[in-house]
Amino acid sequence: MTTKKGPESYEEWIDLERIIIPCSKGLPVVKAWSESGFKITKEDWKNKHLHNEIALRLDQDIDFDIDNELVKRFVEHYIKVSGAISGRPTNPTSHYWWKGELANKKFTLPKEFEEFYNKYPHGATLCEIRSGSGQYTIVPGSLHSKNHENVRWEKYEGIQEYPGNLNMDLRKVALSTALCILYPSKGERDEYCAAIAGVLLKKAKWKPEDVDTFVYNIARAANDDEAEKRASKGTSGEGAQRNLGIPTITKLLECSQKGVSEIFSWIGVDHATIEATGAIGDIIDYGQDRYLIKVTGRLEDKIITTEIRIDGPTLRNQKLFYDAVMRQAGVWIPNMIPKDYEDIMRKKYESRIKSKEYEDEASEDLVFKKRFINYVKLKGLDTDKKNLLEYNTPYAEKQDGSIEFNLTDFEDYLETKRVNIKRVDLVLNVQKILKAKKIKGKVNMGTEGKKEYKSCVSWRIKDFSIDNKDLTIEGEVDEVTEVKGITDGS
C-alpha cells in the first residue's frame, strides 16, 4: 500500500482541524493551551511561532509513546494495525497513532525494580498512552524537544480508528515488556512463567490458549533458549489444583507483592485483590470445622507471617474473616471485591491440606460420644431392667453386649452440664453418632414369681463397649421385648 504524505507543517495540521500548541524544548509557550476555547490560527503561528516546535493537542487522537526499546518486540504481537507511525533517528517507530480517546496512562516500573531497569536510557518508564485535551505530542515537521533531530512519519495512511480493544492491547504490550525486563536467570524461568500463567488464569480470567501465547512471547523476547517449553503454561495450568501466582513471582524476584501486583494491575487485575490474595495462605484442616490459615502482613516495617485459627462460618464471611485476622494476627489485609473473596477462598478450601496434627478427638461426634459415656459412668450399668424403668439406670445385656437407656434422662444430664441440644438434634445424634434404635418393650415388675408387665420405651445400642467395673449385677430379668427393625440379640 502506498504511504501518503502526512501533515508536517502548522498549516497542514490546522487544515485538518486539529489544535496545535507552540512549544520550546517540549513545553508550551502559550497560556491556557488546555482550555476548551483555545485555538491558534495560521496567522498567529506565522507571526509569532515559526521557530517553535509543533505539538498536537490530543483532543481526538491517541498517541502510544514508546520509550523502552523492548516495547517494540511486543507491538507486532498485540497491536493489530496503525495507519500512522512516527519516530526520529535515535528512537524510530516510537509513536503509534489512532483516532479516538483513551484514559492517559504512563507505564513505569516500581522503584524497587531499579536494578532491573537502570541500564535503560529512560529508566523506569516503558511507554505511555496519551489522549485528551490535557495531553500533547511533538509531531512530524518539528525538531525533537530533547534531541536536535527531526521527528518524521515512518508510515502515514491516515490517523484511523482501531479495530478492537486498543486499551487492552496496549496494556498487554506494557505488561509483556515489564515481565520481560524482570525475567529471571536460568534455573528459575520455568517457575516464573508458570506463575505468570497462574495470575492470568486465576485473576485476569484469560483463556488458556491466550496465556500460552502471552507467556511464550515473553520467553522469546527474553532470549530464553527453552522458550518452546514455556509455550503451554496456560493449558497445563488450567486444570492444576494449585496454580502458582503472585507469591511465587515475589519469591523469585525477591521483591514485595505490592510491586508485582502493581504491574499486573495494568491489565485490570485488581491491585488490592492481588495483595490480599498474596497475604492469605493455604487453608489447613486440623479438626472438625476448625482451620488454620497463614497470613502475611507488615508490623513495624517488617514482613511477618503468622497463623490464625477460624471455623467454617468465619471462613465463609469476609467481614468475620478480616476481623479474625486483625484480632489474632494484628496485620492488615487489603480489602477485596466480595466476589473475588468468595472465589479465592472457595478454591483454597477445595484444595485445603489436612494437618499432620489433625486430631479426631476434636470432632463434635466424638465429643458427643464422650458425653454419653460419662453419662453411663455416672449412672452405672445395671443388668436388672427394672431399674431402667424405675430409676432410669442404663440397662446392660451381657449376652449381646448391648445397652438400653432413657433418652429423656440423658437429655436431663446434658442440661446439668449446660449442654443444650434441641430434642430433634439430640434424636439425630443418638441415631447417627451412637447408632441407637428406639424400641418398645415390656418389663416384668412383679415380685415373688408374679408377672406384672409394664411398658418400657428405651433406646438400644448394639455392641456397646462395656467395662465390667461399670456394671451393677442384680440378676436376670424376665421380659418380653418388642423391637422394630432390629433383633433383640437372642
Residue found under cell 486465576: 202
Q: Reply yes or no on whether the pLDDT at 485 is more than 50.
A: no
Using DSSP, state whether 404 is helix, strand or coil.
Answer: strand
Instruction: Tell me the C-alpha distance between 427 and 433, whole Å.
Output: 10
Chain centroid offset of residue 389 CA: 60
Burial of 397 (0-12, 13-18, 19+ CB in 10 A): buried
DSSP sequence for 276-319? HHHHEEEEEEEETTEEEEEEEEEETTEEEEEEEEE-HHHHH-HH
Instruction: Tell me the C-alpha distance between 80 and 78, whole Å.
Output: 6
Q: What is the helix (H) or strand (E) element at residue 262, kind and residue range?
A: helix 257-264
Question: How confident is the model over 250-271, as a mean pLDDT?
Answer: 88
pLDDT digits (tens, 9 = 90+) for 33-69: 999 899 999 999 999 999 999 999 999 999 999 999 9
pLDDT digits (tens, 9 = 90+) for 398-443: 788 899 999 999 999 999 999 999 999 999 999 988 999 999 989 8
Question: How confident is the model over 449-462, as a mean pLDDT?
Answer: 89
Residue found under cell 453411663: 376
Cβ neighbors of 101 (< 8 A, separation 6 or more) are: 60, 62, 131, 132
CA pseudo-torsion sign 117, 299, 306, 201: negative
Q: Which residue has the higher pLDDT, 296 or 83?
A: 83
Q: Reply yes or no on whether the pLDDT at 470 is more than 60.
A: no
Give residue 172's identity as a one-letter amino acid code. Answer: K
Q: Reply yes or no on whether the pLDDT at 1 is more than 50.
A: no
Question: How confident is the model over 126-144, as a mean pLDDT?
Answer: 94
Q: Reply yes or no on whether the pLDDT at 346 is more than 50.
A: yes
Give the pLDDT of residue 458: 95
Rounded-to-10 torsion of CA 47, 151, 128, 30: -10
Instruction: Tell me the C-alpha distance between 296 and 308, whole Å.
Output: 11
- Which grid coordinates belong to 115? 536494578
List % helix, strand, coil for the chain (3-state, nearest 5): 40, 25, 35
Largest CA distance in the chain: 136
Range in 2-11, 267-276, 481-490 with the lowest mean pLDDT: 481-490
State the alpha helices, DSSP H only, in 329-363: 338-350
- Which grid coordinates belong to 86? 512516527
Measure CA of the first residue to CA of the last residue in the chain; give whole Å.
101
pLDDT digits (tens, 9 = 90+) for 85-115: 999 999 999 999 999 999 999 999 999 999 9
Q: Reply yes or no on whether the pLDDT at 270 is more than 90.
A: no
Cβ neighbors of 190 (< 8 A, separation 6 or more) are: 226, 229, 230
Q: Reply yes or no on whether the pLDDT at 268 is more than 90.
A: no
Pick the most confident of 232-241, 294-303, 443-452.
Answer: 443-452
Q: Reply yes or no on whether the pLDDT at 222 is more than 80.
A: yes
Instruction: Tell me the C-alpha distance between 81 and 77, whole Å.
Output: 11
Burial 77-90 (b: 16+ CB within 10 A, else e): bbbeebbbbbbbee
Phi, psi of 179 (to 5 degrees): -70, -25
Give the pLDDT of residue 483: 33
- Which grid coordinates belong to 125? 518508564
- Order of strands across the sheet that contains 353-354: 302-310, 290-299, 280-287, 353-354
Range in 74-88, 109-123, 222-236, 269-283 with the lowest mean pLDDT: 269-283
Give the pLDDT of residue 146: 77
Phi, psi of 328 (to 5 degrees): -90, -40
Phi, psi of 57 (to 5 degrees): -75, 135
pLDDT digits (tens, 9 = 90+) for 150-209: 999 999 999 999 999 999 999 999 999 999 999 998 889 999 999 999 999 988 889 999
Q: Judge contact between 34 and 133, C-beta under 8 A.
A: yes
Mean pLDDT of the chain: 87
Strands 53-66 and 152-156, by their bridges, are: unpaired
Q: Reply yes or no on whether the pLDDT at 484 is more than 80.
A: no
Phi, psi of 481 (to 5 degrees): -115, 135
Burial of 352 (0-12, 13-18, 19+ CB in 10 A): middle
Q: Reply yes or no on whether the pLDDT at 243 is more than 80.
A: no
Beta bridge partners, 63, equal: 97, 130
Instruction: Tell me the C-alpha distance between 296 and 279, whole Å.
Output: 5
Q: Which residue has the higher pLDDT, 440 or 450?
A: 440
Question: How confident is the model over 302-307, as a mean pLDDT?
Answer: 80
